Amino acid sequence: MPPEYVMQGQFSEKSDVFSFGVLLLEVVSGRKNTSFYNNQYELSLLGYVWKLWNEGNIWSLVDKVVLEPKSNSKNEKEIKKCIHIGLLCV
């Protein structure tokens, strides 16, 4: 859920942008945002993605199905662009 909805009960078009970003990151990673709850190191998928992005280790996020062995540099650029867009949305 978008933070403004959780904290204040407000829902807006920004909520849709936030949700799209989360969905995009879920698709690229192959993991649900809720799969990170009860994880002692990370609070959510978003926290994990930000950590990897800041460390320059974003490729460990990408699901192996998305990052096929026959992928080329164009596909890698598209995957990185999707992660960047997802982060900008959240």
Where in the chain are the domains?
Answer: 13-89
User: Considering only the top CATH level, what class is 13-89?
Assistant: mainly alpha
- Cα–Cα distance between 27 and 29 in angstroms, integer? 6
CA distance readout (Å), 53 to 30, 83, 89: 17, 9, 15
pTM of the model: 0.76
- Cα–Cα distance between 35 and 73 in angstroms, integer? 30
For residues 18 and 89, the answer to whether their CB atoms sit within 8 Å is yes
- Cα–Cα distance between 57 and 34 in angstroms, integer? 22
Q: 10-67, pLDDT tens digit by residue? A: 666 667 888 899 999 999 999 888 776 656 555 688 888 988 999 999 998 899 888 7
